[in-house]
Chains A and B, each alone.
Chain A
Amino acid sequence: MTALLRTDGLVKAYGGVQALNGATIAVEAGTVAGLIGPNGSGKTTLFNVVTGYERPDAGEVWFGDRAITNLAPDKVFAAGIGRTFQLTRIFPRLTVLENMLIAAQGKDRPRNLLSWFGRDAWTHHRRHALELLEFVGIERHAGILAGSLSYGQRKLLELAYVLVADPAVILLDEPAGGVNPTLINHIADRIRQLNAEQGTTFLLVEHNMEFVMGLCSTITVLESGKDVVSGPPDIVRTDKRVLDAYLGADLEEEDPR
């Protein structure tokens, strides 16, 4: 088993709330893995711990054979783990292209102070950035302020600027949340394409079961901060514990938020 990204017994509490309680997950290289669970089960907290936005109280995060527990967000990003946010976090008063360049500039550090003020040092990123915008399908909005994009387009922009850094693993927090059905398919296609053509590994949190089941080869179910079961979609879908813990709990209504 070659787990590219794994967590080992992560624990995180906010005051009296136990957000993570021994969460152990493993994402195999080159797969699209899903992370599901009821609201408040610790999915986003797990993302935050993995990507360095939160420090765990206990437990470890491994990226390949490198321990990345407690690494700062920019170090995690530089190591090759990109992420998007549940509520998209773009730079609204920068243009779409400038958003892309901010992600690109982290890749090559300027050699001296003068190169900070130069423009040529990063013009070569421009072409790559435009290619990626074309890949996600918003390249014709490259010159407008990112704040005027629609919600779904922001999700695409976020995906595009995570791709700039060419990460080995991409963590997607509810990529289909609040997005119209056409765009959901568009996003799913892009994920499949990246996974097939470049072997990018994905871990995604999503409430849209159709989306998760159709896309992921492995699904881990989180409940009360602990992993309950992990396996292929068919196994997970029929698992008694999962039905009790998650699907059974609100069978009538799947709240897509």
Chain B
Amino acid sequence: MSESPGRQRALPDLAPVFKGGGLVALIAIAVAFPQVYTNPAVTNYGVFALIYVTAASGWNIFSGNTGYISLGQAVFYGSGAYAMGVAARDWNITGTMVFALLPLAMAVGAAIAVPFGLVALRVRRHTFIVITIAFFFIFQLMAFNFSWTGGSSGLSSPFLNWPAASYNTPFYYIAFAFAAGTIAIAWLVRRSRFGLQLRAIRDDEDRARGLGVRAMRVKLSAFVISGTITAGIGAVWFYYINQVEPQTGFDPLFDLTLVLMAFLGGYGSISGAVLGALIIEPLTLWLNAQPEFSSGSLSEILLGGIFLIVVLFMPRGIIPTSGELITRLRTRGRAAIAPATTIGPASGTAPTPSSVVSGGAQ
């Protein structure tokens, strides 16, 4: 550990500047995107990418922090879509007024998440995953069999008489607002007491309870936040594509895609879920648009292949793996962290609280 104190000090000072600048640039690019690429075929990629950024980040708030892998997010996605469709049909709401139903769709997601969570969160690990899948199938069956859901033909959304050339743009910005809001919530959760409790539950739930963490309440809160977001973006998706059927609203591939996105980008990290969604979703859309792929399910096989490669060679995802690589390059020849072998009172300089704090945040 012979690094000069000046270098050690300069890094944490510059990091927020780079991060802030990068964030501003990203937002600027995202806002300008539909103005620069006005072709609806291109903006369509943007809308779907942002829908999946929202869904994957929403999944990550619960599953990434607690380690409970939910494969039942489609329950919320489909319920949000159906809530909006049923309400618009039964209350004769048309045009842009339909967007006023978004809070209702989100409330339906929250209302479903509470009993769903109370049942599913009693069990852990694999059992939890199985229960979320069971809930998923219950909801898909209900959508097929109730009369008010339109059965197997599903629901159509009210007609929007927007010009075809710029039809996608408002949806793009709505999806962008959802994505930005979800990332902001994920960030707030991550740095809060609440987020710390979630991550303690991930590491050792019983021990966390022993230290006074009210595990059920904390897990359920995260699950409800995640479900609310997913239901909201599900409603946006429904109005965008004008149609929901039981097998598209409650789609098992939706859940697997979210998990793949999170694992590819970096399981548990905020930017990981975003990056994964930005890679996977446009890739899937592009593959499906290729004549060679459109007939069968070759794109799904390819995604499965990507998943295998990620799990085998990069089990922690792009962000953590490349983060480690950067740290290793930057600290080449030096120990990345203080070797944790010596014991007893420290002889060197004690860390200041601020340096400790910045080191603890991710």
Contact = CB atoms under 8 A, between A and B. Distances in A.
Interface of A: 51-53, 72-74, 77-78, 83, 85, 89-95, 97-98, 101-103, 105-107, 110, 115-119, 121-122, 126-127, 130, 134, 137-144, 148-150, 152-153, 156, 161, 165, 182-183, 186
Nearest to B338: A140
Contact of A140 (B207, B213, B351): B351
Contacts of A153: 340, 343
Interface stretch (B125-133, B250-258, B352-360): B352-360
A94 B196 contact: yes
A122 B210 CA distance: 19
A74 to B, nearest CB: 4
B211 interface: yes
B346 A73 contact: no
A91 B204 CA distance: 6
Contact of A105 (B197, B221, B338): B197
A103 to B, nearest CB: 5
Given A137-B346, A143-B351, A91 B192 contact: no
For the complex of A and B, 7 pairs with smallest distance between CB atoms: A106-B212, A143-B359, A91-B203, A73-B210, A116-B194, A140-B346, A74-B212
B350 interface: yes
B202 interface: yes
Interface residues of B, number: 40
Contacts of A53: 206, 210
B334 interface: no
Contact of B199 (A93, A117, A183): A93
A105 B199 contact: no
A90 B213 CA distance: 14
22 contacts: A73-B209, A74-B214, A85-B207, A90-B207, A93-B202, A95-B359, A101-B196, A102-B213, A103-B212, A105-B213, A106-B212, A119-B193, A126-B356, A137-B343, A139-B351, A141-B338, A142-B359, A143-B356, A148-B337, A149-B340, A165-B211, A183-B344
Given A74-B212, A98-B360, A141-B338, A117 B194 contact: yes
A31 to B, nearest CB: 24
Contacts of A94: 196, 199-200, 203
A212 B211 CA distance: 27
Interface string B181-210: 000000011011110110110111011111
B333 interface: no
B291 interface: no
Interface string B325-355: 0000000000001101101111010110101
Nearest to B355: A143
Contacts of B340: 141, 144, 148-150, 153
| Residue among A101, A116, A161 with max Cβ neighbours from chain B (10 Å) | A116
Contact of B191 (A73, A110, A119, A126): A119
A137 B348 contact: no
Given A74-B214, A97-B357, 11 more contacts: A74-B209, A92-B203, A101-B196, A105-B193, A105-B197, A106-B213, A122-B193, A126-B353, A127-B353, A144-B338, A148-B340
B211 A156 contact: no
B200 A134 contact: no
A152 B317 CA distance: 31
A210 to B, nearest CB: 19
B193 A126 contact: no
B211 A142 contact: no
- Which of B210, B211, B341: most chain A CB closer than 10 A? B211
A83 B207 CA distance: 11
Contact of B350 (A134, A182, A183): A134
Contacts of A106: 211-213
A149 B346 CA distance: 15
Contact of B204 (A89, A103, A139, A156): A89
A107 B338 CA distance: 31
A122 B343 CA distance: 28
Contacts of B360: 95, 97-98, 142-143
A139 B346 contact: yes
A118 B212 contact: no
Nearest to A164: B211
A74 B204 CA distance: 14
Of the listed residues A83, A94, A143, A182, the one surrounded by the most CB atoms of chain B closer than 10 A to its CB is A143
A86 to B, nearest CB: 13
A116 to B, nearest CB: 4
